[in-house]
């Protein structure tokens, strides 16, 4: 993951496991200073493990809007992105030979931070192209674009994701998969606080 902001540039190497969409675990491998810092997400909760103090800290609701690992991804994104279909209603805006444009509007009672999300799905491969996030004033504030579409393990998916805050030109977070393996035998029990603490 490469992060570029006005104040810092960082490059992290991480390994991650995920099971369906409710559970995942990320652990930093490099740089050495941050090696072992890990994040566990189960359903709607997020924990961080900090090896320096040897403690697991649950991210409280008030900090869910905070940056995850100094990137442009928030803790909220980790939790809410997997529930887009539960929190939003979908409308097909446009269909062309190249892509579908899908507009997502929040449901009345959904606790979400965006006013609108527009997904562009590339038609030939059926993979996401660009996702644009709008705030409550319907102003586009963030864009996530996907690239480097490859077929691995029988699946076609973009290997690179770029997050750009539109109100801060020049800043971005790039997530690039180096290697990806599917159908790894994992159980729900693997995504536990105990695994989180293992180095």
**3-state SS, residue 75:** helix
Taking the complex as a whole, the smallest distance from the CB of residue 78 to another protein amounts, in Å, to 14
Taking the complex as a whole, the smallest distance from the CB of residue 25 to another protein amounts, in Å, to 16
Measured from the CB atom, is 7 or 86 closer to another protein? 7
Distance CA 115, CA 121 (A): 20
Taking the complex as a whole, the smallest distance from the CB of residue 63 to another protein amounts, in Å, to 6
Distance CA 68, CA 74 (A): 5
Measured from the CB atom, is 66 or 124 closer to another protein? 66
Is the separation of the CB atoms in 14 and 27 below 8 Å? yes
Q: Given the DSSP bridges, would you call strands 2-4 and 9-11 parallel, antiparallel or unpaired?
A: antiparallel
Distance CA 132, CA 77 (A): 14
Taking the complex as a whole, the smallest distance from the CB of residue 61 to another protein amounts, in Å, to 10
State the residues that interact with another protein by CB under 8 A: 3, 5-8, 10, 33-34, 37, 48, 50, 52-53, 55, 57-58, 60, 62-63, 66-67, 69-71
């Amino acid at each position: 993951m490469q992060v570029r902001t006005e104040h810092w540039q960082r490059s992290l190497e991480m390994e991650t496991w995920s099971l369906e969409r409710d559970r995942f675990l990320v652990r930093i491998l490099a740089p050495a200073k941050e090696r072992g810092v890990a994040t566990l997400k189960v359903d709607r909760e997020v924990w961080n493990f900090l090896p320096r103090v040897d403690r697991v800290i649950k991210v409280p609701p008030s900090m869910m809007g905070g940056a995850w690992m100094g990137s442009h991804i928030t803790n909220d994104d980790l939790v809410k992105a997997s529930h887009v279909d539960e929190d939003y209603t979908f409308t097909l805006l446009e269909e062309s030979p190249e892509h579908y444009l899908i507009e997502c509007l929040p449901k009345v009672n959904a606790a979400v931070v965006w006013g609108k999300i527009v997904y562009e799905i590339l038609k030939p491969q059926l993979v996401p192209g660009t996702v644009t996030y709008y705030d409550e004033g319907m102003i586009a504030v963030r864009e996530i674009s996907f690239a480097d579409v490859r077929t691995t393990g029988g699946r076609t998916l973009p290997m690179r994701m770029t997050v750009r805050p539109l109100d801060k030109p020049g800043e971005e977070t790039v997530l690039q998969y180096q290697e990806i393996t599917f159908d790894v035998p994992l159980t729900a029990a693997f995504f536990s606080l105990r695994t989180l603490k293992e180095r």
